[in-house]
A and B are shown apart, each in its own frame.
Chain A
Amino acid sequence: MWLRGWIMLSVLTSIALIVLFVGFLTHASLPFFSKYGVSPIIGQEWYPYENLYGFLPALVGSAWAIAIALIIALPCGLAAAIVSVEILPLRYQSTVNLGIDILAGIPSVVYGLLGIALLLPWLENNLDLLTGHSLLAAGLLLSVMILPTITRLSQDAFRDIDNNYREAANNLGLNWSQQLVAVLLPQAWPSIRSASLLATGRGLGETIAVMLVVGSIDRIPDPWYNLLTPAQTITSRIGREMGEASVGSDQWSALMACGLVLTLCVAVLSIIAQTPHKRAAHD
């Protein structure tokens, strides 16, 4: 009885907190939207001193950074999961897991400092850039940071596959790569998909490491696929400007609106990430 009450209380508290946060963000960004409308979301210029609050450069920057991260981290994480679960003997698995957990445990500011000390000079020297501060640098850092999430959840996906499938595939005479492509990957796919979506949410919200390497300049890459130019992400903008905006000002409200847009994006991703699980369970 006590236990049930306690659990109910925790659940209600969590729900209340979510409602409180989203409610606060909405409340705080309302003055901005009522004054400027929703058109700033596709505006291209962000100059608080001139009352210009265009979200687009930061939105594009965030999208590019996370896209680069996923392109790199998804194949790597998936491969690591396949190797550790399907190929390595059980006793080596814990070693792999230890490595991944250490990767996950490194604070993001440390990634940022490593980015400044190693990644930026490397990019400058090898790609002959004016500056290493770029979307590519942000994407590369993010890829390492979301790798553990993708690997760990993909490992679970493969572990959850019933051994009967493997035996049946063996009995059919499928070789290993056929087994992987025809049996294991399709079975694990729903979980891998939600792993990627969760990792996307985490990557979108990452602030300090991105802020240190992205260049923080509010410009859409020109041409649009030029990933070697400095740019801005939503989080890096909030991180840079939150301290200087006085509470209640337009700028403050605009930053809250940025936060709200980001939160909504991540919330949508999380909801999408949940759905395939249910469908798979019904099949």
Chain B
Amino acid sequence: MFNRIALLISLFLPFHSSLADTTLSIAGSSTVLPVMSDAAEIYKSLNSAANITVSGGGSGTGINSVLNGIVNIGMTSRHPTASEQAKLAEKFEIIDIARDAVAITVSKEVIESGVSSLSINQVADIYRGNIKNWQEVGGFDKKILVIDKESSRGTRHVFAKVILGDAKARAPGASVISGSNNEERSIISRSDQAIGMLSYAWLNDKARGMPLKLDNGDTVTAEAKYVLDGSYPIQRSLSIIVAKKRTAELQSFIKFIQSDGVTPAIEKNGYLPLSAAASKLSD
């Protein structure tokens, strides 16, 4: 009888004792997610005892979840805001794992209609609602479907900082708000008149990167070459956030993330490993 009661009671106890210690949880940026997910697979193949769960939610979610102790590792594709930074300061560490570019992304039909490049000012005017038709930038006579992202998303911060001048700037020209890279890409590829922002690893045939015309007259695209030489302006580090005080399992995984063993996971997803960026930049 007593055993049964004990069993019953144990059902209601949160099981943070032995189980949770061997499970590492990761959440946050949907841009970093595929890398961490592949990295976790590689790590698991090396350590069969390891148990790692990876989920999305966006950079804001990643930072908050790790702050609130909901996950062991938060993924972020932007710098923490000042208020986030203040909370992270003492106890957490930000570790960069790769570099990435945010592409101005348009529907395939837009490029086919003759828009060959956009300047930063033109993109800004589109997001501010001053340019509303593709005709105004050399394309067909179709309205522009302007896709903005949830305000805490890393891609949004980096994009708005370069294009609109402030990571938190409003975009009054926006028609729709999307969340993850996946959601955004599906809206862009379903439409034939959309503009949005995507990590360049997410581009495909129907959602294409728009070449960006710089103030000096050069035209650059979101690809490795221009990211590495620093000429493509909308680029960023992809990072993870983790507590400074770690369990042995967590420490061992972090060590793996910082080693060369993770490079295949980064390259497979189209991002640039830091080692490549570092050697290229020092050239």
Chain A residues lying within 8 Å of B179, measured Cβ to Cβ, are 240
A116 in contact with B175 (CB, 8 Å): no
Per-position contact with A for B25-67: 1 when CB-CB < 8 Å, else 0? 0000000000000000000000000000000011011001101
A240 in contact with B64 (CB, 8 Å): no
Q: Does B176 contact A (CB under 8 A)?
A: yes
Chain B residues lying within 8 Å of A243, measured Cβ to Cβ, are 57-58, 60-61, 64-65
Per-position contact with B for A79-98: 1 when CB-CB < 8 Å, else 0? 00000000000000000000
Q: Does A167 contact B (CB under 8 A)?
A: no
Tell me the residues in window 163-219 of chain B with beta carbons closer than 8 Å to chain A beta carbons: 168, 170, 174-179, 186-187, 190-191, 193
Q: Does B152 contact A (CB under 8 A)?
A: yes
Q: Given A217-B176, A217-B177, A244-B152, is A130 in contact with B143 using a C-beta cutoff of 8 Å?
A: yes
Q: Given A120-B190, A121-B190, is A246 in contact with B67 using a C-beta cutoff of 8 Å?
A: yes
Chain A residues lying within 8 Å of B57, measured Cβ to Cβ, are 243-244
Tell me the residues in window 32-80 of chain A with beta carbons closer than 8 Å to chain B beta carbons: 47-50
Interface range, A side = 20 to 34
A120-B190, A244-B61 given; 15 more Cβ-contact pairs under 8 Å? A47-B151, A47-B170, A49-B151, A116-B186, A131-B175, A215-B176, A216-B150, A216-B178, A240-B177, A241-B152, A243-B57, A244-B151, A245-B60, A246-B64, A246-B67
| 18 A-B pairs (CB sep. < 8 Å) | A47-B151, A49-B168, A116-B186, A124-B191, A131-B175, A133-B187, A215-B175, A216-B150, A217-B176, A230-B176, A230-B177, A240-B150, A240-B179, A243-B60, A243-B61, A243-B65, A244-B57, A245-B64
Residue numbers of A with Cβ under 8 A of B are 47-50, 116, 120-121, 124, 130-131, 133, 215-217, 230, 240-241, 243-247
